Amino acid sequence: MRDEFRADLQIVSQLLVDMAEAIRAAMRQATRALLTADRQAAETVIERDAEIDDLYRHVEERVCNLLARQAPVASDLRAMITALHVAADLERMGDLADHVAKTALRRHPSPAVPAELRTVFTDMASIADRMAEKIGKVLAKPDADLAAELDRDDDTMDDLHKSLFAVLLGDDWPYGVETAIDATLLGRFYERFADHAVNAGEHVVYLITGEPAASAE
Amino acid sequence: MRDEFRADLQIVSQLLVDMAEAIRAAMRQATRALLTADRQAAETVIERDAEIDDLYRHVEERVCNLLARQAPVASDLRAMITALHVAADLERMGDLADHVAKTALRRHPSPAVPAELRTVFTDMASIADRMAEKIGKVLAKPDADLAAELDRDDDTMDDLHKSLFAVLLGDDWPYGVETAIDATLLGRFYERFADHAVNAGEHVVYLITGEPAASAE
């Protein structure tokens, strides 16, 4: 029974690692679509979001199956509930990559991000990518220190988000309202991506330490 | 055992109904704060968000406790997993009310919403309120038809959201980028509130019918 539980848990963990890799790839590609007006990259992200949703459903099915067959308690039960939370965060991160891709596509062949904002979006995307990478690592091999780094990464993301608004609200903003709306929504997508990475990290920390972390919001 | 499960399930259901009422009250008050620059209403919403978070934690604890003690299977297990999903959606709806209140507060004593946008935000808030009310009813007494109405309400919300952008992008938009940014974010908060209501409704429908609904996104 115990060995069987371990084997099932391993499968669930692997599905979560697969999800983390998929959402990382999705956000990288969505960023490329955004910054280089790459139509094909955008379409790939949108098409492949269904695969991330499928992985989410697989996690749910596995966990429910495992709860029904094995009736785990204590830390084993906590691991199952954690898997559900983390999968929900990762699924939502996939949606956010999809939103970035759709914004890029809506403006294609024009770039959705004007020259003045390329640096800040490049930096936000770079933090998002780093956070997605860390979530993947932490899920493959629980590491409370690495998970805790996500909080600091999120602070950097918040600073970048503020600097985005500073550009939009500067007296010399040369674009109109439409570009500002796009940039506002895009900024929010990257920022929420980071929030969900922090949430997922907190769930993993809780699993390792048994101590709930403060909520990211 | 069976009676005990029913009694526990009843407690979880009541917590979810309490959450639904709390998030409905929060969004009503946040809207008042927004449309009448009511500082105290905004502060109340922000303070009371912690109570919604507490309710969420209570649901999680109850469900985990129940899973550990009773090891439910089949539809009983499904009810537990559904409760976790619905609670997560409701908690997020509370966050979104909090975001609306914070936006109102940030602009206080100026109104965050200019005269040209009062109608669309009044209408969005009215749909949000109707959806929150329905979720509360559906949780108190499962009703697949009522839950299905949430989808139509969400279509109305999406139309309002589009009409908001039409005003922002009109040639005669008399305000600057800052007001457009606020309106963009506020529009997103109401629209996401509706999305989560739809998700919560779909989880309830799944519980009633055993058929997963298509995802809202």
Indicate the helix (H) or strand (E) that contains B72. Answer: none
Amino acid at A202: E
- Measured distance CA(B200)–CA(B23) in Å, rounded: 13
Which domains, and CATH codes, for chain A?
A: 2-209 (1.20.58.220)
* ipTM confidence score: 0.93
Asked if residue B190 lies in contact with residue B124, where contact means CB atoms within 8 angstroms, the answer is: yes
Tens of pLDDT along B126-136? 999 999 999 99
**pLDDT grade, residue B37 (50/70/90)?**
very high
Residue of B81, B84, B184 lying closest to A181 (CB–CB)? B184
Which tens digits make up the pLDDT trace of A47-62? Answer: 999 999 999 999 999 9
Interchain pair B74, A68: CB under 8 A:
yes
B147 touches B170 (CB < 8 A) = no
Cα A216 from Cα A198, distance rounded (Å):
7
Supply φ then ψ for residue B109, to 5 degrees.
-85, 0
Nearest to A20 by CA among A96, A99, A100, A86: A86
Q: How far is Cα A38 from Cα A22, in angstroms, rounded to an integer? A: 19
The pLDDT averaged over each successive group of 10 residues in chain A (217 residues) is 86 96 98 96 98 97 94 92 96 98 94 94 98 96 92 98 96 90 97 98 85 54
d(CA A30, CA A102): 8
A67 contact residues in B (CB cutoff 8 A): 67, 71, 77
Q: What is the pLDDT of residues A131-163, one digit of tens each?
A: 999 999 999 998 999 998 999 999 999 999 999
Residue B48's contacts (CB-CB under 8 Å, 6 or more residues apart) are: B22, B26
Confidence at residue B216, expressed as pLDDT on a 0 to 100 scale: 42
Q: For position B98, what pLDDT does the model report? A: 98
CB contact B214 to A (< 8 Å): no
